[in-house]
């Protein structure tokens, strides 16, 4: 990331204080979101999301596996993020590992719910094929191609779009399976089940610069932040996850204020994202 001079930093902070950022946005305005689905044909579902200069790809692959003994009626979902070295020079070699782990953990917390699977954005019970024996293992991978701030929001949007693009093949189970044998499964090539993605939350990251918070910070603005809170909100307005970054402490009243601001912003974001995903899927079908 390029450094900023004192004069430029001052200009950015002044802009945020006056509600007019460097590219003319208000504090709570997102950059234009551009969604493309089906970018990886070999995966069961994929999507590419561009948020200004931030560019991320998410892909979903499903494999048949065995459910864990503790939760025989639930499938397994794993989310992993990789920061490509093309995104920023500091990601070269193993430089991006810390950021990748941080992003993966934040996404898992927001989308997968607790250890028992309760409260997850993606319903794991829909992934089971034969209870206790066969279930779908979902591997969701995110790749950061170009980083200009606000990676978490872009990744969550990409995962949401990829999941709505996902088609899990239909499985026919052989009817005469005995209780301790692995049943025979027949994976159909034609029929696909679509995921219900209306319950999947989006993530809104609020970056605090000075005394104000902004939504969708560019990497220049992020360099000026004192702290950032990422809040995951679903369509009903419920909070599914909360992550705080940055060393500066925050007063609890500020956090509550940030949560209500995030809830307000998320309504527009969810609608915008859904319409972009629908448009992307429509254009994918045409081509």
Partner 1 sequence: MRGLQLPLSQTQRIRLQRALEKLQSLSCKANSDASVTVADTIPVNYEDAFLKGHGTTDLNGDLVATVCGVVERINKLVYVRALRARYKPEVGDIVVGRVVEVSQKRWRLEINFSLDAILMLSSMNMPDGIQRRRTALDELNMRCIFEENDVVCAEVRNFQHDGSLQLQARSQKYGKLEKGQLLIVDPYLVKKSKQHFHHLEQFGIDLILGHNGFIWVGEHVEARDSMVVDQANSSEQSRVPEEKNQTHTPLEMRQNICRIANAVRVLSTLGFSIDADLILETVELSSTVKIDIHDMLGSEFHVLVAEREAERRSLMGKRKR
The site map against partner 1 for 247-286 (x = CB under 8 A) is: -----------------------------x--x-------
> Of 57 and 231, which has the nearer Cβ to partner 1?
57
Residue 2 found at the interface with partner 1 (CB under 8 A): yes
Closest residue by Cα to residue 62 from 80, 40, 43, 41:
43
The site map against partner 1 for 45-84 (x = CB under 8 A) is: -----x----------------------------------
Question: How many helices and strands (H and E) does the chain possess?
Answer: 5, 12
Closest residue by Cα to residue 138 from 111, 174, 109:
111
Residue 10 found at the interface with partner 1 (CB under 8 A): yes
Which helix (H) or strand (E) segment is 167 a member of?
Answer: strand 167-173
Q: Which stretch binds partner 1 (CB under 8 A): 15-23, 81-89, 99-107, 122-130?
A: 15-23
Output the six-digit token pair for 175.
Answer: 């009817």
What is each CA distance from 79 to 102, 107, 120, 141, 237, in whole angstroms? Answer: 12, 7, 13, 6, 23
Output the six-digit token pair for 247.
Answer: 């060393």
Total of chain residues touching partner 1, rule CB under 8 A: 28
Residues that bind partner 1 (CB under 8 A): 2-8, 10-11, 14-15, 17-18, 20-26, 29, 31-34, 50, 276, 279
């Amino acid at each position: 990331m390029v450094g900023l001079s004192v004069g430029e930093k001052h200009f950015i902070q002044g802009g945020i204080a006056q509600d007019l950022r460097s590219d003319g946005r208000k504090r709570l305005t997102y950059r234009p979101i551009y969604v493309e689905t089906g970018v990886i044909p070999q995966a069961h579902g994929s999507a590419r999301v561009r948020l200004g200069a931030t560019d991320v790809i998410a892909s979903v692959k499903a494999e048949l596996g065995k459910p864990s003994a503790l939760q025989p009626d639930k499938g397994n979902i794993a989310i992993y993020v990789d920061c490509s070295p093309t995104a920023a020079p500091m990601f070269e070699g193993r430089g991006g590992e810390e950021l990748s782990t941080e992003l993966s953990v934040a996404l898992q917390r927001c989308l997968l719910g607790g250890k028992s699977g309760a409260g997850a954005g993606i319903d794991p019970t829909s992934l089971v094929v034969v209870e206790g024996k066969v279930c779908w293992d979902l591997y969701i991978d995110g790749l950061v191609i170009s980083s200009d701030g606000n990676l978490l929001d872009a990744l969550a949007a990409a995962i949401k779009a990829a999941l709505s693009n996902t088609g899990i093949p239909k499985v026919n189970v052989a009817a005469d399976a005995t209780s301790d044998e692995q049943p025979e499964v027949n994976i159909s090539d034609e029929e696909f089940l679509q995921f219900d993605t209306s319950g999947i939350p989006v993530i809104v990251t609020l970056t605090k610069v000075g005394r104000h918070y902004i939504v969708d910070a560019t990497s220049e603005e992020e360099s000026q932040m004192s702290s950032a809170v990422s809040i995951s909100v679903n369509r009903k307005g419920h909070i599914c996850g909360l992550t705080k970054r940055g060393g500066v402490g925050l007063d609890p009243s500020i956090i509550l204020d940030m949560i209500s601001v995030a809830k307000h912003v998320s309504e527009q974001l969810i609608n915008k994202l859904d319409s972009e995903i629908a448009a992307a899927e429509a254009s994918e079908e045409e081509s």
